[in-house]
Structure 1
Amino acid sequence: MDLLRLQQLLRGQGESINGCDLSVEDAIDFVQSNFSECSYCLVRDWTLLELAPCGEGHDALRSRGLEPVLVYARNVVLDSRARFNPGDWVRSTFQLRYEDQGLFFTRNTLYVLLGAGTRQRITLSDLLSLS
């Protein structure tokens, strides 16, 4: 990843989009009431990373019911399974589905995207450098 791309990612530059407008407490109540079967992770300072077309990779993801989109968040607020500490950064696995109120589902976790965030395109090589 070149320095400019890394800087854009870390600063959350990109197309602005809205996430969940609930307080942390209300977001927890909402998730526990409506998605009690899900592990969840509340995050701030987030970016939806859309993987640039890379040929067969997109087809392989979609054949498994996934979209080539991930969440990169610079601030974990709360992780229901304590995999991440508050203030940690996190990169999700690929998107299973997205709901307009800032709910990003992967196969294992519901990410609640608190507040405003951004959307950026990322190449496969840039994505691999975030590991």
Structure 2
Amino acid sequence: MDNQLLGDLFFSPAQPLAGADLDDETLLQFACEEFPEKEFCIVRRWMLIDVILSDDEDRQVRSSGLRPTVIYAQAVTTKAGTKAEAAHGKLSGFQLRFEGCFFETQDMLYILAGRGSRKFASKPTVFALADLCGSGLWNTYENRPVNNPA
């Protein structure tokens, strides 16, 4: 079932979005100057995923100041300039803020570069993606969002 969920996520139509149209070196320089106190990374081949939750779960996420949106990325450049092509991608925690090409979680600022997309996905689909990426979005005992280093 996970393969079907992930297949639908990766290969179904999506809303195309554009991130920053600059090279990584320029983006790193800009981010280091503008956000010296923040942990950040530049992501390419990314997808914003709006997670479909029950009303109670949605209220719980929103009451903590977050939004039920995560980012999935296949290519990441860290603040130190290290590039990584993740075999199964990286998945963020829930959105704290999103403006322009900046997507922020509780512990990371993601700079969206190049082209990406946006989709809705069910909670089981995002759980399957989290398993694939090796990241846990929710505490198992409460279904609450947790800090999720990506």
Taking structure 2 as the reference length, what is the TM-score of the superposition? 0.77
2:44 maps to 1:62: no
Answer yes or no: is the 8 Å Cα contact 2:5–2:128 preserved in 1: no
* Offset, 1:5: 3.9
Partner residue, 1:39: 39
For structure 1, the residue ranges without an aligned partner over 5 or more in a row are: none
Answer yes or no: is the 8 Å Cα contact 1:54–1:124 preserved in 2: no
Partner residue, 1:128: 127
Q: How far apart are the structure 2 equivalents of 1:28 and 1:13?
A: 31
* Offset, 1:90: 0.4
Q: How far apart are the structure 2 equivalents of 1:36 and 1:63?
A: 29
Deviating beyond 3 angstroms after TM superposition, the runs of 4 or more aligned structure 1 residues are: 1-5, 8-13
Answer yes or no: is the 8 Å Cα contact 2:48–2:70 preserved in 1: yes
Secondary structure in 1 matching 2:85: coil
RMSD: 2.1
Partner residue, 1:92: 92
- Whose relative contact order is higher, 1 or 2, with alpha carbons under 8 Å and at least 6 apart? 1
Partner residue, 1:48: 48
- Over 3 Å counting, the alpha-carbon distance change for 1:12 and 1:85 in structure 2 is farther
* Offset, 1:34: 0.8
Secondary structure in 2 matching 1:86: strand
**Total equivalences in the alignment:** 128
- Over 3 Å counting, the alpha-carbon distance change for 1:11 and 1:111 in structure 2 is farther
Secondary structure in 2 matching 1:87: strand
Taking structure 1 as the reference length, what is the TM-score of the superposition? 0.87
Partner residue, 2:106: 107
Q: How far apart are the structure 2 equivalents of 1:114 and 1:49?
A: 16
Q: How far apart are the structure 2 equivalents of 1:52 and 1:59?
A: 12
CA-to-partner distance for each residue in 1:87-131, whole Å, 9 max, x for gaps? 01200000000111x110001000111111000101111111112
